[in-house]
Amino acid sequence: MMDRTNLLLFMSCSIIHLFISCLASNLLNITTDQSALTLFKSQFEHDHSNVLARNWSSDTPICSWIGVTCSFRHHRVAAINVSNMELSGIIPPELGNLSFLVSLDMTGNKLYGNLPKELSKLKRLKLISFSFNRFSGKIPSFFEAMPNLQQLYLRNCSFTGSIPPSLSNISKLEALDLAYNSLEGMIPVQIGNLGRLKILILGGNKFSGAIPDSVFNVSTLEILEFSYNSLSGNLPANMCRNLPSLTYFSVFSNQLCGQIPSTIGECSQLRTLKLQLNQFNGRIPKQIGNLSMLLYLYLGDNNFEGNLPMEICLQLPAIQKLSLGQNQLTGSIPRKLGNCSSLVELYLEENMFTGGIPSEIGNLLNLEILNLQINNLTYIPTAIFNISTLKHLSVYENQITGSLPSTMGKQLPSIREIFLAENYLNGPIPDFISNASSLTTLDLAVNKLSGRIPNSLAELNFLATLSLGANDLTSEASGMSFLTSLTNCRCLRNIWIDNNSLSGYLPDSIGNFSSSLEQLDLSNSRIKGRIPKEIGNITNLAFLLMRNNEFTGFIPFTIEGLKNLQVLSLLGNKLSGPIPDGLCHLPNLGELTLSKNKLYGPLPACLGNITSLRYLHLDSNELKSSISPTIGALKDLLVFNLFSNFLSGPLPLEIGNLKVLTSMDLSMNELSGSIPSTLGGLNNLITLSLAQNRLHGPILDSVSKMLGLEGLDLSRNNFTGSIPKSMEKLQHLHYLNLSLNKLTGEIPNGGPFAYFNYQSFISNAALCGPRRLQVPPCPSNHHHRSRQKAVLRASLISFVVVSTIVSLIISFFLIKCQRKNRVPSDRMDSFPAVMPERIRYHDLQRATNGFSEANLLGVGSFGSVYKGTFTDGTVAAIKVFNLHIEAAFRSFDTECEILRSLRHRNLAKVKSSCSNIDFRALVLEYMPNGSLENWLYSHDRPLNLSQRLSIMIDVASAIEYLHHGYAAPVVHCDLKPTNVLLDDAMIAHVSDFGIAKLVYAEDNVVLTGTLATFGYIAPEYGSEGLVSTKCDVYSFGIMLMETFTRKRPTDDLFTAGLSLRCWIYDLYSHSLGHVIDATLLNSEEESFDKNVECISLIMKLALDCSSELPGERINMKEARATLQKIKKLFFPHL
């Protein structure tokens, strides 16, 4: 009995000892967990939410801490979730002591540094999520030491390097997300060994090469995401054979090519298929129609061709989004699209579809977005305007004819945006449009609409943009009451009704527009009478354009109240009186255009107060005064035009302060004195005209310091002395006129002077030089000087007499020709045709008002560009070649030869041409928003980051087409911001092919003597004249740098061996924020970091494009694809 009692006592003591030992052990282990978490908390530099500071305290049990979960069985820390707490700091190694941890989620913080290798001790971990942090270095290989790991999320963590093959050893892994890092190299073949993998997300990196076939053999896969990389090659022919569970497949924005495999139809569970922004070609396989569970199909921005498969909607009852835009699809739009009864969004834009829009689309009762813009469609059925769910309708830039249905708007209660511009619609604007009560944008511009602008538009309470320009719309005889009614639309921001036949008086009620109105364009609309003083009440107005009307009277003084005004253009009216001083009180004014009126009085000295001014056009008026020295305060002025006034006195020295000035025209005035020495400081000047004044004295050497000068006109003055030989340095000078002065001595023969002809120098005192310039030869030194002097004296006397007679004869015939206003013969000679029809010289002369200065848009390399308005209302840009320059003939031939065969949405379109014996011109598509150069250096209307990126993608697309989309690659040779023009939608068009080259193969090199623009020119082009497609790539890289830094490559900063590229290269890795245009950097931290990251990728691309050696540069396909990825990454909704 005693033995039994002792035994029981012993066992009880043992159990109690064991319990106490276990309890002590658990207390010790939980203490270890608490210590690790306390140290983890102490590493945080910032705890913005203050959760951990307030809650993770030794006063409370660890298992009750926010974000901490303990296991019931072991009473140990099993899960940590501190996601989205804005924590900043590093992860301490002691976190590896949490040996019972199963789940670790630190998503959405600001953690940085390397992941500690001690984490490999966490053998129980099943889930790790470190996404959206700022770690550095490579993805560690220690994850393979976690045998139970099932989910690994490392999205957007700033990791570099390649995918470690060791990840393929995590046999239980089901989800792997490495998206949006900076990973590169090939996707490891070993990924295919992960037999349980369901989710694989690798998008937003720099992976290259083909997608391994092994990936397509992982039968458990449900999600495959490879977007935004540089993957190439084809999709496997049997890609769907072993993927029975695949629901999501995305490879958009890569460089994949070939055809879509016909076996795509075997991915029977597929709900999302994204193949857009690649180089897929061939026809769209009809087997896509077998994917009966498909919801979203994106095939846009590829090279698909042929007809759209008729079967595409037969078996797709659930499809909601169908995107096939920006391909080369032809034929008619299938009527079977009407069977996609669940369709919400349909994108077929920028293809080559013909015929009418099928009425069956009107059966899509869930349709919200219909985008058919930029095709060749000819008819829009009434059924389209009966889709009650429709919110966005875009059919602009087609060939739609006929009239709008009279009931348009009656069945569109949800419509917000209607874009029908650039078609051939006729008839009136329906009154029922007012029933579209949700409408915010109505764009019917550039059609043939007629009749009155309906007053019922005023019932559109949410209308923000009304674009009716370039039609034949009218107003009632008594006035423009529609404007009065529109003042009831309190959300209106933009009114564009220019280029119509309104023929009325501007009502006083115009002042009743709400403060939301920002842009008002009434140009070219035959409006007459006075400008109402009430216009000063539209206090938020930024753009006021009323050019080419019949306004009379004074400019109202109340315009001073438009404090937000950025552009004021009253060109081509009959306004009189002085320029009001109130204009000087507009602090944001960037453009002031009052040309071609009857304004008189002095040039206001207070104009120097408008320091925001970039464009000043006061030409063709009757202003009479001197030019005030205060003009020198306009530090940002780009264009200064006072042509054809009565200005007198000397040019002020302060004019040399206009350091960024690119164009100055002071011709046809009464200016006197000499050229100020400060003029040579205008290093950015491209065109300078001081013609037809009373200036005298020598042409100063300082003129030769304006190295960017392309056009110089000093004719019809009293300049004396010789032509400075230093002007031979002006390598970009294409136009020179020194005629009708009193110049003497030798005409320089180096540099650009080799290309000028005699008309640049006629009617001077005693110039000498080559025979082709029709001047006597210059004397040479030899032993018989005295005899030579006598001969020379006699020759000079004879020459002076003959020259005087010849000059008189020439002057007589010039005056006679001017009086007769001789029209050149319309006879066509053998120049290559640009369009099937040519246009007559007389039509061009009438469209440009006799090639008047008021219509001059700019002076280029080999001629001038004018704005022309033809009798049918069509507006075009007319490029007139200066045949005084011998190279202009070659330039005209080159542009004709190149442009007649090219067709791309981002190339300037040539509409027609005129070629006579003594006249050459191209008629080009008019770009109302001018050049990228103008926008980049405009303080009052800065381009935002997404706009600049979109513009450069447009440029890249154009150059990619020139290099890779044409039978013989075309090298543009002069890529720069001034040659990138922007249409009214801010879409970029590359122009000016005057020195372009055909190289017949992408890698070929040709030799040329034609020079491009300094600063943008590739090293091998400038030094050796070697031209290849890589020259354009180099120029594109420099343009990228300039676009996002707002620094010209010719900026004063870049001297003594420092270039724009070197500057960016030196600061790229550590001080990129110092080179970025300040207007792109938002003060908010999130936007700041996002923009810097985006521009960092762009600058990396720019450096890759502008490598010193041509062989190290990427091609334009790669450049365009990279920019597309960047746009999709940072602006996915654009």
Contact (Cβ atoms closer than 8 angstroms) between residue 834 and residue 863: no
Distance in Å from the first CA to the final CA of the chain: 91
Give the single-character DSSP code of 385.
G
* Token pair listed for 303: 């090279």
Question: Backbone phi, then psi, for 297, in 5-degree steps?
Answer: -125, 115
- Work out whether strand 296-298 and strand 272-274 pair parallel, antiparallel, or are unpaired: parallel
pLDDT at 515 (0 to 100): 87
Which pLDDT does position 310 carry in this prediction? 80
> Residues 459, 462, 465, CA angle at the centre, nearest 5°?
100
- Smallest Cα–Cα separation from 227: which of 1040, 1127, 1134, 1094? 1127
Handedness of CA 188, 192, 194, 199 (dihedral sign): positive
Q: What is the DSSP string of 663-692?
A: EEE--SSEEEE---GGGGG-TT--EEE--S
The residue whose two tokens read 């315009």 is 559
348: which 2 tokens? 């077929």
Residue 528 and residue 502 in contact, taking contact as beta carbons nearer than 8 Å: no
d(CA 296, CA 308): 17
Nearest CA-CA partner of 638 in 619, 669, 613: 613
Q: Which fold has domain 841-925?
A: Phosphorylase Kinase; domain 1 (3.30.200)
Mention every residue, 6+ apart, whose C-beta is less than 8 A from residue 946.
Answer: 1127, 1130, 1131, 1134
Residue 411 CA to its chain's centroid (Å): 37
Q: Are 173 and 199 in contact (CB under 8 A)?
A: no
639 backbone dihedrals φ, ψ, rounded to 5°: -130, 130
Contact between 925 and 876 under an 8 Å Cβ cutoff? The reply is yes
> For residue 429, which phi and psi values (nearest 5 degrees)?
-80, 120
3-state secondary structure at position 1124 = helix
Residues of the chain with confidence (pLDDT) below 70? 1-28, 45-49, 477-478, 781-838, 860-862, 883-902, 916-918, 966-968, 993-1013, 1021-1026, 1055-1057, 1069, 1082-1086
Alpha carbon distances (Å) from 407 to 448, 451, 455, 482: 19, 16, 16, 20
CA–CA dist 748, 755 (Å, integer): 11
User: Could you tell me which of 408, 413, 363 has the C-alpha nearest to residue 385?
Assistant: 408
Give the number of residues written for the chain: 1134
What whole-number distance in Å separates Cα of residue 149 and Cα of residue 174?
A: 8
- Annotated binding-site positions for ATP: 879
Contact 706, 856 (CB under 8 A): no
Q: Residue 901 has what pLDDT? A: 58
CATH, range 932-1130? 1.10.510.10
Task: Quote the CA–CA distance of 265 and 267 in Å, as a whole number.
Answer: 6
pLDDT of res. 8: 56
pLDDT, residue 803, reads: 47
DSSP notation for 675-741: --GGGGG-TT--EEE--SSEEEEE--GGGGG-TT--EEE--SSEEEEPPPGGGGG-TT--EEE--SS
What's the pLDDT at 804?
43
Please name the fold of domain 27-279.
3.80.10
Residue with tokens 């050796």: 1024
Residue 885 DSSP code = B
How many angstroms separate the most distant Cα atoms in the chain? 158
Q: What is the pLDDT of residue 773?
A: 86
Q: How far apart are CA 806 and CA 774, in angstroms?
A: 11
User: For the purposes of burial, counting CB atoms within 10 Å of the CB of 877, is it exposed (0-12), middle (13-18) or buried (19 or more)?
Assistant: buried
Q: Is 545 helix (H, G, I), strand (E, B) or coil?
A: strand
- 974 among known catalytic residues: yes
The secondary structure of residue 65, as a DSSP letter, is S
Q: Give residues with Cβ within 8 angstroms of 442, minimum separation 6.
A: 418, 433, 457, 460, 463, 465, 466, 467, 468
Catalytic residue among 521, 713, 954, 974: 974
Alpha carbon of 952 to those of 555, 647, 962, 981, 1040: distances in Å? 40, 42, 15, 12, 7
What pLDDT is recorded for position 891? Answer: 53
pLDDT at 291: 92
Buried b (16+ CB within 10 A) or exposed e, 938-967: bebbbbebeebbbbbbbbbbbbbbbbebee
Question: What six digits make up the tokens of 783?
Answer: 């032993």
Angle value at C-alpha 975, between 971 and 978, nearest 5 degrees: 145
Joined tokens for residue 458: 């005023």
In order of 479, 481, 565, 981, the CA distances from 507 in angstroms are: 7, 8, 21, 35
Give the relative orientation of helices 1029-1045 and 1085-1105 as an angle to the nearest 10 degrees. Answer: 160
Distance CA 367, CA 364 (A): 6
What is the DSSP-derived secondary structure letter of residue 765?
S
Task: Specify whether the CB–CB gap between 640 and 659 falls below 8 A.
Answer: no
Closest to 167 (Cα-Cα) out of 180, 181, 153: 153
* The model scores a pTM over 0.95: no
Q: For residue 655, give the DSSP letter.
A: G
Q: Phi and psi (nearest 5°) for 44?
A: -80, 125
CB atoms within 10 A of CB 1058: 11
Domain ranges of the chain: 27-279, 841-925, 932-1130
**Contact in structure between 690 and 668 (CB atoms under 8 Å):** no
205: helix, coil or strand?
coil
